[in-house]
Amino acid sequence: MKDKICIAVTGLNAIDSPGPGIAVIRSLREAKSFDVKIIGLAYESLEPGIYMHDVVDKTYQIPYPTAGTENLLKRLEYIHDIEKIDVIIPNFDAELFPMIKLEAQLKKIGISMFLPTVEQFEERLKINLPEFGKKYGIKVPHSKAIFSTAEIAGLINEFTYPIVVKGKHYDAEIAHTPEQVNTYYNKISAKWGLPVIIQQFIHGIEYNLTGLGDGKGNTVAAVPMRKQYITEKGKAWGGISIEEENILKIAENFVSSTKWRGGFELELLKDPNNNFHLLEINPRMPAWIYLSVGVGQNIPEALVKLALGEDVKPFDTYKVGKMFIRYSWDMIVDVEEFHTLSTLGEL
């Protein structure tokens, strides 16, 4: 008999720009070392994962990160009293900082997490990425944080169009003119706040790597893939696992240098001269994490074991040439379920 572990997971918004939650849960349900009860943690009452009852056993609404850590802690304590949660896996960048701050308090009541430290989280922020690249010897495109539209005119002195306009947590748009930069600046800053990041656009092929660090400098897992199909929002809708030693070396350097703790995703671009440039470091597992199961490295399962204090042997192989292809389908849901969640905050 395998142990049954109660795991709470965020990121249930399986939309056109999906959160990682459903992919993480699918991976956990295929874990070989334990069985799971899955508690969904949702922010919006229309997150599709809420109504996928074969995937999520029960869902609770939780307050937005902007509501503060005290409100989040009270809500998690309430849920824990009912469900006896063993592990929480947060899957959004914006919620990680408050979760990191609460990690020690949640541990005292029996809830484990395996997250980066505050220093690790802040060091890899988009605003700090150029300095990060210099410190660890990783190529990073020239970037600059701006705080007002008055700075847009001067960008021509530092950048060559096109340039990429990025939100501090999410969203990225390619701008070919200062007018487009102004439009994207207003759109992104209204959604994610300031600063807005300007990054030099580089022509090339997009690659991603998802991995897991044990917090001691060891790479427990690393799966590189090349994007095969990209949506208008720049999200991978299809990808293939590849053998690329240079990407694996970048990941190992990142983990060993920072002693990274937890899941991560590296977004990379290979230019026409075969040089890899680091575009972003996401401090959590990506929406395509289920590919890791398909190639023989169940990263969510390994993360849970690390969270529970178990020793995990690093994966040393993965299958090359495995593809993921994302698709959409319509669920038919009784409106009473929507009303129940909206009224009671749980379903």
pLDDT tens, position by position, for the chain (347 residues)? Answer: 789 999 999 999 988 788 999 999 999 999 999 999 999 999 999 999 999 999 999 999 999 998 999 999 999 999 999 999 999 999 999 899 999 999 999 999 999 999 999 999 999 998 899 999 999 999 999 999 999 999 999 999 999 999 999 998 888 899 999 999 999 999 999 988 999 999 999 999 999 999 999 999 999 999 999 998 877 767 788 999 999 999 999 999 999 999 999 999 999 999 999 999 999 999 999 999 999 999 999 999 999 999 999 999 999 999 999 999 998 889 999 999 999 999 999 99
First to last CA, the chain: 29
* b/e code 121-160 from CB counts within 10 Å (16+ = b): bebbbbeebbebbeebebebbebbbbeeeebbeebeeebe
Quick count: other Cβ atoms within 10 Å of Cβ 3?
A: 10
Q: Peptide bond preceding 162: is omega within 30 degrees of 0, i.e. cis?
A: yes
pTM above 0.85, yes or no: yes
Angle between helices 245-258 and 129-136 (to 10 degrees): 100
Specify whether the CB–CB gap between 312 and 221 falls below 8 A.
no
Angle between helices 299-307 and 21-29 (to 10 degrees): 80
Domain ranges of the chain: 4-113+330-344, 142-200
Domains 4-113+330-344 and 142-200 share a fold: no
pLDDT at 107: 98
Taking Cα atoms as reference points, which of 89, 75, 82, 78 lies closest to residue 22?
Answer: 89
Position 249: which residue type? Answer: K
Angle between helices 69-83 and 93-108 (to 10 degrees): 60
- Which H or E run contains 97? helix 93-108
Identify the sign of the CA torsion 65, 214, 289, 225.
positive
Name the fold adopted by 142-200.
Dna Ligase; domain 1 (3.30.1490)
Cβ-Cβ contacts under 8 Å for 177 (sequence gap 6 or more): 161
Q: How far is CA 334 from CA 11, 17, 122, 330, 338, in A?
A: 22, 24, 42, 13, 7
Taking Cα atoms as reference points, which of 208, 173, 220, 216 lies closest to residue 192?
Answer: 173
pLDDT at 171: 85
pLDDT at 236: 80
Name the fold adopted by 4-113+330-344.
Rossmann fold (3.40.50)
The angle subtended at Cα 239 by Cα 236 and Cα 242, nearest 5°, is: 135
